Amino acid sequence: MIDYLNPTDLGDFSPQGLSSGTATDVFVYAAGLAIDPETMARRKEAESIADETRICLENVATILADAGLTLRDVVKTTCYLQDEAHRFEFLDAYKGAFGEGPYPARSTFVLGIASNLRVQIEAVAVRPDAA
């Protein structure tokens, strides 16, 4: 069974061929973007890297909530930064979202990101009853 997760709070990304997340009996996958789905541009309130990171992780949390999970259920993130210079501001905001830990396993890449985004975060969560 696969459920497609598209919380109305995040907007409709289906015209771009996207779902915000997908869920199986064991795993939930969520894509955190600080993007306006109507313009496909970075949200205005994402002024700093910390803001953009926070918004990405809030969106991941919203997607996970649709599946009955929280950030505490995340076991792996893949993080994309537009510029290496953003790394330390990103890390502070990232750690702030997850609290004192434990932290999920993380891979971080520096590369070009579509829609003038500076941060994108993918998360994989595990349903506690499936572990």
DSSP 51-85: HHHHHHHHHHHHHHHHTT--GGGEEEEEEEES-GG
Which residue would you say has higher pLDDT here, 14 or 34? 34
Q: The whole model's pTM is what?
A: 0.93
Model confidence at 21, pLDDT cuts 50, 70, 90, reads very high
Q: Looking at the predicted structure, is the pLDDT value of residue 66 above 70? A: yes
Residue 131: per-residue pLDDT:
58
The predicted model gives 38-57 an average pLDDT of: 90
Q: Indicate the CATH number of 3-126 among 1.10.760.10, 3.30.1330.40, 1.20.1250.20, 3.55.40.20.
A: 3.30.1330.40
Per-residue pLDDT reduced to its tens digit, 68-121: 999 999 999 999 999 999 999 999 999 999 999 899 999 999 999 888 899 999
Q: Looking at the predicted structure, is the pLDDT value of residue 22 above 90? A: yes
Beta strand segments in the chain, E: 3-5, 21-23, 27-33, 35-36, 41-42, 74-81, 105-110, 119-126
The predicted model gives 30-44 an average pLDDT of: 85
The predicted model gives 61-68 an average pLDDT of: 96
